[in-house]
Amino acid sequence: MPKINVYLPDELAQAVKESGVPVSAICQRALDQAVRRITAIRSAALADLTREDLAATFPNVTARARDAIAHAVEAARERGAALAGTGDLLAGVLAQEGNLALRVLELMEIDPAVARARLDGGDADGEGDVPGGPGRGDGLRWGGPAAAALELAATEAIASGHNYIGCEHLLVGLVTEPDGTAGRVLRDLGAEQRAVRRTVESALMGYTHLRAQQAATQGAAGGQNPAQAVAALVRAELQPLLQRLDRLERHAGLDPEAPGGDADR
């Protein structure tokens, strides 16, 4: 059986060793799923794709993230490219006013306008512009780096316990993808993968805190106990994570309600 080396950050490598998880089996399953998703993404014809089609194709993607993807497809189509690239995706994210990815860049003291200028100038996307390249004459499709970035965005959302894919996940995917134009532009501006991920997490925590404050204020104005309003919001925010944990427990046979579970002992 062929062997593939997988490089891990020091902290994760140590945690994997200490936990004794079956690395090979987990990696094989994860890679199989990723290959299937990337293959599906790369084979999708984009030339006649509408925004309604995008909503059906990406049901868990937020409206703003779908708009960013649609913007990327339209930009590549107008450019006459063979493949839509990561620069197109980044341009789409930057074009959506008020999304969390823009806030993350600003928190990292990276001006989105500078990133946009880099794409418009000497760093314009060229991943799919080679005459006669893959996809030419066969309809516009995602290039390899762009498909990988979309897959990485989905993986990031799943790993974070989120039941949606937003512009912030697209940003992490673009930064993490090593070969595309977008990742190079972002990293040159100081947006490293770990820093972006931590900033996204901090921004989401701040957003949740703000919503809690708003819920408390609105609850008080409506005669509702502020503490109850905050508790309801926190339960709503935690629900996707709790559901994910429940699925994992059921898969591992730890469900106390299932036959043979703790409830039967």
Residue that is written with structure tokens 């090593």 in the block: 178
Do residues 140 and 76 touch, judged by C-beta distance below 8 A?
yes
| CA separation for the pair 177, 251 (Å, rounded) | 31
| CA separation for the pair 149, 175 (Å, rounded) | 8
The pLDDT tens digits of the residues spanning 166-207 come to 999 999 999 999 999 999 999 999 999 888 998 888 877 755
Q: What is the mean pLDDT of the chain?
A: 75
Ranges 190-199, 233-242, 243-252, most confident:
190-199
Query: In the chain, what are the domain boundaries?
Result: 45-191, 204-251
pLDDT of residue 29: 75
Residue that is written with structure tokens 């993490």 in the block: 176
Residues in the chain, total: 265
Per DSSP, 96 falls in state S
Do residues 84 and 142 touch, judged by C-beta distance below 8 A?
yes
Query: Amino acid letter at 173?
Result: G
| CA separation for the pair 32, 22 (Å, rounded) | 16
Q: Which CATH architecture has domain 45-191?
A: Orthogonal Bundle (1.10)
